[in-house]
């Protein structure tokens, strides 16, 4: 039997240290820990799919929580069943009541596990929906207060105007003008359009 660990966070900015420490406490080697920094909305995650290709019958995968596996109730149930059908054991550190075992063939216990799994997966999906609603409400509230969302707008600076004039007068090439204005190529040409429109 080989043991693997799976870690997931929703974005590249989120910290994985706690989950990594939990995997180490389970004595899982670094090379056997698979990490995705992607949303739980679907299962097309590179490391998760690679792990599925590598696991064999009687192997075990450790998850910090059912939410690390996914947050879609129907898809989570399908994935759980897929592992069971292929003889792969699952261990959830926060929800030991749904851990699987090759030694346990109690049909009633398995049925109860599936009921608990369904409830937990439903809560995980609801939590994801609630997060999206809160994010949308936060965006609307910020807009109502006149706050700018997204990347800060690049202003037309004196440096840009000087670089623009030199470029237009063919004193310097476009690349030099971009460097002088401290702008990327797309930003520079976008500001050129804005500036010429205002003129």
Rounded CA separation 57/49 (Å)? 16
Rounded CA separation 26/4 (Å)? 10
Sheet holding 60-63, edge to edge: 33-37, 3-9, 60-63, 89-92
Rounded CA separation 133/175 (Å)? 44
CA-to-CA separations, 23 to 19, 53, 96, in angstroms, rounded: 6, 20, 15
Residue with tokens 């929906």: 129
Q: Is the dihedral of CA 13, 49, 66, 40 positive or negative?
A: positive
Q: Supply φ then ψ for residue 57, to 5 degrees.
A: -55, 135
Annotated active-site residue in 10, 11, 39, 101: 10
Q: Supply φ then ψ for residue 46, to 5 degrees.
A: -55, -50
Active site residue 39: no
Q: Supply φ then ψ for residue 163, to 5 degrees.
A: -65, -40
Catalytic residue numbers read: 10
């Amino acid at each position: 039997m080989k043991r693997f660990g799976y870690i997931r966070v929703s974005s590249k900015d989120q910290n994985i240290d706690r989950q990594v420490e939990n995997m180490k406490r389970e004595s899982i080697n670094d090379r056997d820990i698979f990490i995705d920094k992607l949303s739980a909305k679907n299962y097309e995650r590179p490391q998760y799919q690679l792990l599925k290709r590598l696991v064999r019958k009687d192997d075990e995968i450790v998850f910090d929580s059912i939410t690390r596996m996914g947050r879609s109730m129907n898809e989570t149930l399908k994935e759980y069943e897929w592992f069971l059908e292929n003889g792969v054991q699952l261990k959830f550190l926060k929800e030991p009541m749904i851990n699987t075992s090759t030694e346990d063939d109690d049909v009633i216990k398995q049925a109860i596990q599936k009921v608990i799994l369904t409830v937990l997966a439903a809560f995980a999906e609801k939590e994801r929906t609630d997060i999206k609603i809160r994010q949308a409400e936060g965006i609307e509230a910020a807009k109502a207060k006149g706050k700018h969302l997204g990347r800060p707008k690049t202003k037309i600076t004196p440096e840009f105007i000087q670089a623009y004039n030199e470029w237009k007068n063919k004193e310097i090439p476009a690349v030099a003008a971009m460097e002088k204005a401290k702008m990327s190529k797309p930003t520079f040409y976008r500001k050129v359009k804005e500036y010429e429109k205002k003129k």
